[in-house]
Amino acid sequence: MSKVFGFPNPVNEVAARFVATGVVVMAVLTVAFDLKPLTLLLAYGFVARVLTGPTLSPLGQLATRVLAPGSPWPAKLVPGPPKRFAQLIGAVFTVAAAVLTYGLDSFGAAQVVLAILIVPAALEAFAGFCLGCWMFGQLMRLGVIPAEVCAECNDIWNRAPAAT
């Protein structure tokens, strides 16, 4: 069971960006073409990644086993806890969209929620800026998240980039 539940630390940033690209594509398709079932797939993916990392996430598996290893970009390892926090934020948005869609029959409101989610997912996918990771760092600075949650994160913004 412990092999299933958990989150990798460190995380391959290249794989994370591929996952974010998949989220952007699915969210755009959901919003643009009224594809309600993709709302459930997005929610499942985020919840699966929060609980198990890429283990039970089809998109996570594709990114870590196929896309990242086959890409021309070298692996860049980053701390896992901020990425897990970012996945949790995505889970909140996508579960809310699924509840709006299937529980409250308000797909229009769900599309707005997903359209908002596209922005941070696109920032991660195309600019390499993880808004959830940034928020995690801010919460650590404020003492909301204890320093021992991510020792590597204590000085994440000031350390030298990893050699490639």
Q: For the segment 65-83, what is each residue's pLDDT rounded down to a tens digit?
A: 999 999 999 999 999 999 9
Tell me the residue ranges of DSSP E strands in 11-161. Answer: 11-12, 77-78
User: For residue 151, what pLDDT is reported?
Assistant: 82
Please report whether residue 35 resides in a domain: yes
Provide the CA 3 distance to its chain's centre, in angstroms.
20
Please report whether residue 25 resides in a domain: yes
88 Cβ neighbours under 8 A, 6+ residues apart: 46, 50, 132
Please report whether residue 48 resides in a domain: yes
Q: For the segment 115-133, what is each residue's pLDDT rounded down to a tens digit?
A: 999 999 999 999 999 999 9
Please report whether residue 52 resides in a domain: yes
- Domain total of the chain: 1
User: For residue 5, what pLDDT is reported?
Assistant: 85
Please report whether residue 133 resides in a domain: yes
Query: Torsions phi, psi of 53, nearest 5?
Result: 65, -140
Q: Please report, rounded to a whole number, the percentage of residues in the chain having pLDDT higher than 70.
A: 91
Q: Classify residue 130 by burial, with Cβ atoms within 10 Å: 0-12, 13-18, 19+.
A: buried
Please report whether residue 2 resides in a domain: no
Q: For the segment 93-123, what is each residue's pLDDT rounded down to a tens digit?
A: 999 999 999 999 999 999 999 999 999 999 9
Mean pLDDT of 38-67: 97
Residue 4 has pLDDT above 50, yes or no: yes
Asked which of 27-31, 124-128, 134-138, 160-164 is least confident by mean pLDDT, the reply is 160-164
User: For residue 154, what pLDDT is reported?
Assistant: 67
**Segments forming the whole domain that contains residue 129:** 11-155
Q: Please report, rounded to a whole number, the percentage of residues in the chain having pLDDT higher than 90.
A: 85
Please report whether residue 6 resides in a domain: no
User: For residue 163, what pLDDT is reported?
Assistant: 46
Quote the pTM value: 0.90
Please report whether residue 1 resides in a domain: no
